[in-house]
Amino acid sequence: MEGFHNLWIIKPGAMSRGRGITCSARLEEVLELPGKHPAPSLKPRQWVAQKYVERPLLIFGTKIDLRQWILVTDWNPLTIWFYRDSYVRFCSQPSSLHHLHASRHLCNVSVQKQWRHAGGRHPKLPCDLIWSSHQFQLHLQQVGHREAWENVIVPGMKEAVVAALHSGRELVRDRKGSFELYGADFMFGEDCQPWLLEIIVSPTMAPCSAVTRQLCAAVQRNILRVLPDHRENPGCSTGAFELIYKENFKLPVNKPEERMSERKNFGKENRNWLYYNRLYYNRLYYNRLYYNRLYYNRLYYNRLYYNRLYYNRLYYNRLYYNRLYYNRLYYNRLYYNRLYYNRLYYNRLYYNRLYYNRLYYNRLYYNRLYYNRLYYNRLYYNRLYYNRLPCSVSNSK
C-alpha cells in the first residue's frame, strides 16, 4: 500500500459519480481545495482525505476497483447480507503516479466513459471496461494468486464491511421494516489485500455493460428473495446473498421524543462510547489485517526457504554427480592411458626382443656360414695341396 510519493485523494462528502475528486501530493493544494470547489455549500469538515494506495494490484498495468453489494435488512439487531457476485471497473489509461489525471486514477463509470475510446489503452482491456468477479478470479489464477480470492479477498471484504457498518450504526436512523442496499468499493494491494475505499448509499443499478446488465437484474431478484420470502420462511433460498453477520441481541430503543433529544445531544453524551466502539472495531480490523499479513509473509518466506533448500539440494546433487562423473571419466582415461602405454611398452619390448633375436640368429647363421665356408675352403685347399704333393715328389726322383 505505502509508497514514496505521499499521494492523497480528496473527495467531497456529499457528491457522487467521481465529481470533485482530486489527487495531490502537496499539503498546500489539499488545504486550498475546499475554497476553490464550485460547491461552496460544502464545509471543510465535509471533505474526506484518504491516503492513496500507491502500490495497488494492477491488471495489464491499469488501475481497478471492485463494486460489492451489501444488504442491511435490520439495524437493531444489525443484520448484514453479502452478495457473492460483484464486478470490477477499469480505468481507461495506464496507471502512473507521475500523472494524476482522472482517466488513470478514477474507476467510476461516469468518469471513464469520457475516455473509453481514447488511445493509449492496453489492447487486452474489455471494451466496456467492466469485468465480472469470475473473470477477475480467472485472471488471479493465471498470474499465480490461485487462493487469493477465497482466502484473502472475500474474508477481508467481509471484515471491512462489518467493521464499517458497526462504526456508523449510531448515525443511521433505524426504521422498522425497512432495508438498505449499499455499494462498497474496494481496491487491492500488490498482496491482494482488500482496502475499503467508501460505502455508497443507493448504488446505481443502471446497466452500463453486459456484465452489469445481468448482475443488476439478479441483485434485484435476490433482494425480493431475502426480504419477504426469508422473513416468512427462514429456510428458503436467498440466491447469491449470504448472511455474514447478525447480532444475537437488540439494543434498547427509547421513545421518539427521547430518541430525538439523544440525537441532539449525541455529540456530547455518546461521544466516548462511539469513539471506543470505533476504536475497538478499528483495532479488531487492523489486528486481523496484521495477522493475515503475518500469516502470508510466513507462508511466503517458508515457501522461499523450501524453494531455496530444494534448489540448493538440486545444485549440490548436480555438483556431486558432475564431480562423480568427471572423476569416473578421469580415472577411466587414466586407466585406458595406462593400458595403452603398457601395451605400447610391451609391444616395444616384444618387438625389441624379436629384433634382437632375429639379429642374434642372423649373426649366428652368417657366422656358421662363414666358418663353414672357411672350413670347406681349407678342406679344399688341403685336398688340392695333398693332391699336388705326390706328383711333385715323383718328378724329383
Could you please report the per-residue DSSP string of 127-172? TTSEEEHHHHHHHHHHTT-TTHIIIIIHHHHHHHHHHHHHHHGGGS
Amino acid identity, position 79: T
- From residue 246, give the alpha-carbon distance in Å to each of 44, 321, 327: 36, 63, 72
Q: What gap in Å lies between CA 307 and CA 267, rounded to an integer?
A: 56
Contact 8, 25 (CB under 8 A): yes
- Provide mean pLDDT across the span 367-394: 83
Can you give the pTM of this predicted structure?
A: 0.61
Cα-based torsion angle of the residue sequence 347, 349, 351, 352 in order, rounded to the nearest 10 degrees: 160
Contact 244, 82 (CB under 8 A): yes
Retrieve residue 47's grid coordinates.
Answer: 471533505
Q: What gap in Å lies between CA 397 and CA 392, rounded to an integer?
A: 9
Q: What residues contact 241, with CB distance under 8 A and at least 6 apart?
A: 71, 81, 82, 83, 84, 222, 223, 225, 226
Give the pLDDT score at 319. 92
pLDDT digits (tens, 9 = 90+) for 281-338: 888 888 888 888 888 889 899 999 999 999 999 999 999 999 999 999 999 999 999 9
Residue 252 has pLDDT above 80, yes or no: no
3-state DSSP assignment of residue 367: helix
Give the pLDDT score at 359. 92
Query: Which stretch of 89-98, 140-149, 249-258, 333-342 has the lowest confidence by average pLDDT?
Result: 249-258
Q: What gap in Å lies between CA 218 and CA 221, rounded to an integer?
A: 5
Q: What gap in Å lies between CA 297 and CA 384, rounded to an integer?
A: 126
| Alpha helix positions (H), 210-270 | 210-224, 230-232, 256-264, 266-269
User: For the chain, percent helix, then strand, then coil, each to nearest 5?
Assistant: 55, 15, 30
Amino acid identity, position 137: Q
3-state DSSP assignment of residue 309: helix
C-beta atoms surrounding 76 within 10 Å: 15
Residue 210 has pLDDT above 80, yes or no: yes
